[in-house]
Amino acid sequence: MAMFSHFPLMLRPTPCHRLDRASELLGIDLWIKRDDLSGFALGGNKARKLEFLIQAALESGADTVVTCGASQSNFVRQLSAGCAMAKLKCVAAVMDQPYEPGHELPQVAFTGRGNLVLDDLFGADIRRFPNGSWDDLYLHAHLLAENLRGQGANVYEIPVGGSSALGAYAFFLAADELPNVDTVVTASSSGSTHAGLQVAFRDFPTRVIGIACDPEPELIDDISRVANELCELLHQPPVGKEEFDLRTQFVGPGYGIPSDAGNEALRWLARTEGIVLDPVYSAKAFSGLMELARQGEFDGQTVVFWHTGGTPAIFAYF
């Protein structure tokens, strides 16, 4: 039972089913957790976080929510929908390709508008800025919030991707929706999905593997920080950084840029099981799962791939 009140957004539990053809071809017992079928704003795992974050915004007395992200952010898209349902104004600072200093990215020519179409449909106020560092983007969002406060708005700020103790708490609860499995594989970026699942399974034999979707070396620190904020919330002992299994070799060119292996995995799963991944997160994560299966890491195991959603981005990248 949840310790905190939430604003209902999604249908739960999301389906979890076996991938018979993929299991045979990869030589493992492979299942998939379908957060792409959450029933909210074209699906995605962000709905779990937003149920708690939007409720927190309402309880704070806010009338406006401010966040930030890449222009194809799945979190911004679902936040836009949730805010519309809760009668909150949603303002988001976005860049097409934010980056870490020293990890400047090759430019991607978007062929469509993807999540931006849905942001507009849900009524979000999207403020687009030239590409810069993540710190630049965070500052844009904070200045937006301060400016809105100066205009009389009661603003609730939400960090990028909703990665906070409350966001991780949603996935701590979501672990109860899984059957008994040996390994869970998920995309890992802003950190709350990986953090929440790891805390949930810390005293169980189930292993959680996060496949990194951006190249920053501090990613493991961010995940650990969010996990320990969750532990504090739950009055549990802290979790050590060494307890996290984060694989960084499947990032490809960088954050927000599809990889060749990810695109291959996306097409393979679409043509094998009729399931669509997204090119930025879940496709890279599934490419990692496929490679680890080929290397024999999952021999004799039951593995669940946690599909985090994000499929509208396909219409921007392809």
Nearby residues of 207 by Cβ (< 8 Å), 6 or more positions away: 182, 183, 184, 201, 245
Of 123, 37, 119, the closest CA to residue 70 belongs to 119
Annotated catalytic residue within 38, 71, 73, 259: 73
CB 251 within 8 Å of CB 214: yes
Long-range interactions of 228-236: CB distance < 8 A, separation 24+: 229/164, 229/165, 229/168, 230/165, 230/168, 230/169, 230/172, 230/195, 230/196, 230/199, 231/199, 232/165, 233/165, 233/166, 233/169, 234/3, 234/169, 234/172, 234/199, 236/199
CB 252 within 8 Å of CB 213: no
Q: Which phi and psi (to 5°) does residue 24 adopt?
A: -65, -45
Establish whether 73 is a catalytic residue: yes
Is 251 buried (19+), middle (13-18) or exposed (0-12) by CB count in 10 A? buried
Residues 8, 234, 196, 216, Cα dihedral to 10°: 120
- 31 strand-pairing partners: 18, 304
Tell me which residues are annotated as active site: 73
